[in-house]
Amino acid sequence: MDGRLRRLDIKTALSAVADLALPRVCIVCGEFLVPQEKHLCTSCMLDLPETHFASFSHNPMADLLNDKIQRDRDRAGEAPFEGYSYAAALYFYSTSAAYKKISRALKYHRNFAAGAYFAGLLGDSLAASPLYADVDLVVPVPLHWTRRWKRGYNQAEVIGKEVAARLGARLGAAALKRRRRTRSQAKLAAGAKAGNVAGAFSADASVCARHILLIDDVFTTGATLSACHLALRQALGPDVRISVATLAYAGPR
């Protein structure tokens, strides 16, 4: 025990020295972090607007997603019945709140350490819920190869890798492909998002899974995730459960 405490003291001291040389700041408020804090200061962590959606089969995010899935199935001429899909996010997203910087740190500023950290929090919340206990494949929403080449990474895959590890599931980064390059959803009005991604995805029919968890960074209207859901359902048939998880949820509460 004394040896472990000694190693912890040394690690804390080294972290403090590193903070003097290259100070770390809170992603949300910009305050300097102490050695025990990671990415958020204690105050911002305590105020993190968590959704707790992982604990509930029915929640605003899941209801919005399922309504979108059903409308997209009707538009595509698919059979009307679709089982209810679970959906969860770590925190509530608002363009007027500084917590939006969490997902943007990964997507626009290549902060992989922060992305993995918050994805781990999401993964822990999912792992603690019986709704996601049997997830055996985690599938990130794919980027078109030209956008991935330009950015150098897929933020959904960074999140998915950490979530898969927490769930003890496989990461299926190749299970979905984006067949055509689409305009950025963030730049479109809500009504235009569905048409932008309709038919944009294809799924690998050889994928073997019982419960797939689709992963993205932010859930807004559900258009992208619904399009991915439809592609997976068309390729894999009705017996595979498909759920959704994102770092942030920007829809109505």
Closest CA relative to residue 51, chosen from 88, 13, 23: 88
Contact 189, 220 (CB under 8 A): no
Token pair, residue 202, equals: 């294809």
Contact 134, 213 (CB under 8 A): no
Which residue matches tokens 């997830």? 135
Closest CA relative to residue 215, chosen from 136, 147, 156: 156
Contact 216, 89 (CB under 8 A): no
> What is the percentage of the chain residues whose pLDDT exceeds 90?
77
Q: Which phi and psi (to 5°) does residue 95 adopt?
A: -65, -15
pTM of the model: 0.87
pLDDT digits (tens, 9 = 90+) for 54-103: 999 999 999 999 999 999 999 889 887 788 999 999 999 999 999 999 99
* Band (186; pLDDT cuts 50, 70, 90): low
> What is the percentage of the chain residues whose pLDDT exceeds 70?
85
* Band (37; pLDDT cuts 50, 70, 90): very high
Q: How far apart are CA 238 and CA 83, in angstroms?
A: 9
The predicted pLDDT at position 200 comes to 83
Q: Does pLDDT of 120 surpass 80?
A: yes
Instruction: Output 192 or 224, whichever has higher pLDDT.
Output: 224
- Give the strand order in the sheet containing 87-92: 87-92, 241-249, 211-219, 137-140, 170-171
Alpha-helical regions (H) of 30-141? 42-46, 60-76, 101-107, 112-127
Contact 248, 90 (CB under 8 A): yes
The predicted pLDDT at position 188 comes to 53
pLDDT digits (tens, 9 = 90+) for 151-177: 999 999 999 999 999 999 999 999 999
Instruction: Output 20 or 47, whichever has higher pLDDT.
Output: 47
Q: Does pLDDT of 12 surpass 50?
A: no
* Band (253; pLDDT cuts 50, 70, 90): confident
